[in-house]
């Protein structure tokens, strides 16, 4: 931060709330709290939305919902309900998230897939999800570029996506317009505490900024920031995900496409994202030759024309994993609220997380839907 945190904060009145971490989770929480009338300061050590929230694919659906516990599915459903309004507020702040209902095709490529497809179909219908089974001809009509060897697909027409790289900057701008201070290049190195209460933060250059509440939304870095006093659920673990971005003619790929753990996400401008790896390799956000080769092979298996398409770029990001793969949203101790550990679903879960953080900071207490995600569980 030019001039350092000390100079920036000199003469500033203490905010009601400091949010640490300007990914989608912190930015959405800052926006919600500022909209509710709190005096909010959002501190980001790098640039807003520069980590996992930038690196993600923007699917507003779990990759494998049938693997999620019911408690998490309820949280996801609530967030999906909130997304259209959240995207409209972000659009008012000048960031078009291109929220689109492109639907998803889960490909059936083998006998195992065909058997699993029946189970998934029953599960999805049981959860009120619109879905249908497509045979090979219907799949080809819906998505002509899919490989000829694919036998069919499960079609989920209601699933949405967003241009996630615009989301954290968009929420931060909406927060700023609602009166929040948004500070980039300002890392927090410790919490300030007095008599068992968190009273603010100490920035990387030694400045102390006091606040009534601190919201910790530092993604994969949350556990490291809490150090020895970290409750088990908040011991965040980075999980690397690599991505490849293709450039194609708009409309080449129409749906999000899923094949086992691999997926394609088409943007309206013709770009197609392909992902992703799930790697537990510490804080290493570098791409690897085998990782990128694996993603490209899977992409070409799903849509053969991608083998010859231009690759615009590839990257990796660090998902905030947690020991039980569930997010933590709630009070940690007096003056400290956590919103982290969203692992593979933080883009989807940002609006509901912001709302649940506001419940606690504004004194309504943890909503029933948030209880399974208590940081002290
Ligand atoms: C390849 C990939 C694909 C994904 N695809 C999807 C998807 O399709 N859908 C979905 O819902 N999710 C997806 N995810 C997961 C999603 O990206 C994350 O769950 C989400 O971005 C987490 O948001 P966050 O704000 O908690 O973390 P981050 O975006 O990582 O933000 C945390 C921020 O805190 C800052 N910070 C850390 N420490 C400090 C400190 N001490 N002081 C100040 N600031 C600090 C960091 O600089 C960072 O900007 C994907 C992730 C990856 C990597």
What CATH number is associated with residue 186?
3.50.50.60
**Average of per-residue pLDDT across 193-215:** 96
**Average of per-residue pLDDT across 100-105:** 96
How much distance in Å is there from the Cα of 352 to the middle of ligand 1?
16
pLDDT at 296: 98
Claim to verify: residue 67 and residue 44 sit in the same structural domain: yes
**Average of per-residue pLDDT across 109-125:** 88
Residue among 166, 163, 191, 185 at smallest CA distance from 42:
185
Q: Which domain holds residue 43?
A: 4-93+165-235+323-373
Q: Is the dihedral of CA 266, 271, 275, 280 positive or negative?
A: negative
pLDDT at 116: 85
Backbone angles phi, psi at 249, to 5 degrees: -70, 140
| Residue 99: inside a domain | no
Cβ 107 vs Cβ 189: under 8 Å: no
Give the number of domains in the chain. Answer: 2
- Hey, whose CA ends up nearest to atom 12 of ligand 1? 345
Task: Mark which of 295, 321, 347 sits at the end of a domain.
Answer: 321
Q: Is the dihedral of CA 84, 90, 94, 96 positive or negative?
A: negative
Q: Is the CB of 22 under 6 A from ligand 1?
A: yes
Claim to verify: residue 243 and residue 226 sit in the same structural domain: no
How much distance in Å is there from the Cα of 114 to the middle of ligand 1?
34
Closest ligand 1 atom to residue 188 Cα is: 42
pLDDT tens, 48-89?
Answer: 999 999 999 999 988 788 888 999 999 999 999 999 999 999
pLDDT at 4: 64
State how far the Cα of 70 lies from the Cα of 66, in Å rounded to an integer. Answer: 9
Task: Mark which of 321, 337, 352 sits at the end of a domain.
Answer: 321
Query: Is a pLDDT exceeding 70 seen at residue 306?
Result: yes
The pTM (predicted TM-score) of the whole model is 0.97
Residue 10 binned pLDDT confidence (cut-offs 50, 70, 90): low
Q: Is the CB of 23 under 6 A from ligand 1?
A: yes
Claim to verify: residue 108 and residue 214 sit in the same structural domain: no
Claim to verify: residue 86 and residue 139 sit in the same structural domain: no
Please, is 37 exposed, middle or buried when counting C-beta atoms within 10 Å of its C-beta (0-12, 13-18, 19+)? exposed
Claim to verify: residue 218 and residue 336 sit in the same structural domain: yes
Claim to verify: residue 241 and residue 155 sit in the same structural domain: yes
Across all residues in the chain, what is the average pLDDT? 95
pLDDT tens, 121-141?
Answer: 888 888 888 999 999 999 999
| Residue 140: inside a domain | yes
pLDDT at 15: 87
How much distance in Å is there from the Cα of 241 to the middle of ligand 1?
11
Query: Is a pLDDT exceeding 60 seen at residue 2?
Result: no
Cβ 168 vs Cβ 31: under 8 Å: no
State how far the Cα of 70 lies from the Cα of 308, in Å rounded to an integer. Answer: 41
| Residue 196: inside a domain | yes
Query: What is the percent of the chain with per-residue pLDDT over 90, rounded to a whole number?
Result: 88
């Amino acid at each position: 931060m030019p001039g350092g945190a000390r100079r920036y904060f000199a003469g500033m009145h203490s905010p009601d709330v400091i949010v640490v971490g300007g990914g989608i989770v912190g930015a959405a929480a800052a926006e919600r709290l500022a909209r509710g009338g709190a005096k909010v300061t959002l501190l980001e050590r790098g640039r807003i939305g520069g980590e996992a929230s930038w690196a993600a694919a923007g699917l507003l659906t779990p990759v494998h919902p049938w693997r999620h516990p019911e408690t998490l599915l309820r949280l996801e459903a609530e967030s999906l309900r909130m997304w259209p309004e959240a995207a409209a507020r972000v659009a008012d702040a000048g960031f078009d998230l291109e929220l689109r209902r492109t639907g998803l095709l889960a490909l059936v490529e083998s006998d195992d897939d065909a058997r699993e497809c029946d189970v998934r179909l029953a599960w999805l219908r049981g959860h009120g999800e619109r879905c249908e089974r497509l045979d090979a001809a219907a799949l080809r009509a819906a998505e002509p570029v899919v490989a000829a060897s694919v036998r069919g697909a499960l079609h989920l027409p209601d699933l949405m996506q967003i241009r996630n790289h615009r989301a954290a900057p968009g929420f931060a701008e909406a927060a700023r317009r609602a009166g929040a201070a948004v500070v980039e290049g300002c890392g927090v190195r410790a919490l300030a505490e007095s008599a068992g209460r968190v009273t603010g933060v100490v920035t990387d250059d030694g400045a102390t900024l006091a606040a009534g509440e601190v919201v910790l939304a530092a993604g994969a870095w949350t556990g490291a920031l809490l150090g020895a006093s970290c409750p088990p659920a908040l011991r965040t673990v980075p999980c690397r995900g690599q991505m490849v971005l293709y450039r194609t003619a708009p409309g080449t790929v129409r749906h999000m496409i899923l094949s086992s753990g691999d997926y394609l996400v088409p943007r309206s401008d013709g770009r197609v994202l392909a992902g992703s790896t799930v790697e537990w390799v510490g804080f290493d956000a570098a791409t690897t030759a085998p990782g990128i080769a694996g993603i490209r092979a899977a992409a070409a298996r799903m849509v053969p024309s991608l083998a010859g398409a231009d690759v615009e770029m590839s990257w990796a990001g660090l998902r905030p994993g947690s020991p039980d793969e569930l997010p933590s949203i709630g009070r940690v101790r007096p003056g400290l609220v956590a919103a982290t550990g969203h692992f593979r679903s933080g883009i989807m879960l940002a609006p509901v997380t912001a709302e649940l953080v506001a419940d606690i900071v504004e004194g309504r207490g943890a909503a029933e839907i948030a209880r399974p995600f208590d940081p002290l569980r």
